[in-house]
Amino acid sequence: MEINSVSFVKSSAHPRECPPMDKAEYAFIGRSNVGKSSLINMIVGRQKMAKISSTPGKTQLINHFEINAPDKKSKEDASWYLTDLPGFGYAKISKSERVKWERTTKQFLEGRRSLMCIMMLVDSRLTPQKVDLEFMSYLGQNGLPFVLVFTKVDKLNKSERASFQSKYEDVMLKQWHKMPPVFITSSETSEGREELLNFFEQTNLLF
């Protein structure tokens, strides 16, 4: 897949404000500091499409981007949505904000019929985090399809690179029958971009 155009559609404070569910859609989610905005910018090939905040946990809106919107002359519409969801797990937000985030996010994920897959981002440098594992359990219990996207692999040395994935598998396979699909990425080197774009292209055919 080639990305020919990227356009910001809107920010929504609540799922009912989101764009119509008329396109295949992929939601990116992960802990604050996981590198979500940088990864989105790398995927779409734009440096400043998703805003990178210096304050983790600051983005509290659902941001929709339309990929490959048709021009006025085109009869075919192969466009799709890339959705940037607020990060979670940041300690400095209040309990009420955390509860609101959880309620809004779950309403979005459970009610968004156009959602083809949830891109669950985890930092490859960290051991499996309780908050990530709990969120993946929620996805599994609710039958919400997701893939595991490891970020920041360029930060690993050779031995860390060889072992980080198996450490995750050791923990997850105590609860899961099998691992979800896995993508290894770096926003710095663009590793994983082609694999993700191929995944979107193939999955769009199912919409």
Q: 21: domain CATH number? A: 3.40.50.300
Asked if the structure places residue 66 within a domain, the reply is yes
1 in a structural domain = no
The pLDDT score that the predictor gives to residue 74 is 73
Contact 105, 78 (CB under 8 A): no
Q: What is the pLDDT of residue 88?
A: 80
Could you tell me the mean pLDDT of each successive run of 10 residues in the chain, 207 residues long? Answer: 93 95 97 92 83 55 93 83 86 73 92 97 95 94 97 96 94 94 97 98 96
Residues 6 or more apart whose CB falls under 8 angstroms from that of 65 comprise 6, 7, 8, 9, 40, 44, 49, 50, 81, 82, 83, 84
pLDDT at 49: 67
Does residue 160 lie in a domain region? Answer: yes
Is residue 34 a part of any domain in this protein?
yes
**The pTM is what?**
0.92
Predicted pLDDT at 71: 83
pLDDT score, position 43: 96
Kindly state whether residue 179 falls inside one of the protein's structural domains: yes
The total number of structural domains in the chain stands at 1
pLDDT for 90: 63
Candidates 82, 84, 80, 2; CA nearest to 35 is: 84
Residue 198 belongs to domain spanning: 6-204
Q: Is the dihedral of CA 65, 181, 36, 105 positive or negative?
A: positive
Domain presence at residue 80: yes
Q: Is residue 121 part of a domain?
A: yes
pLDDT of residue 92: 64
In a domain, 185, yes or no: yes
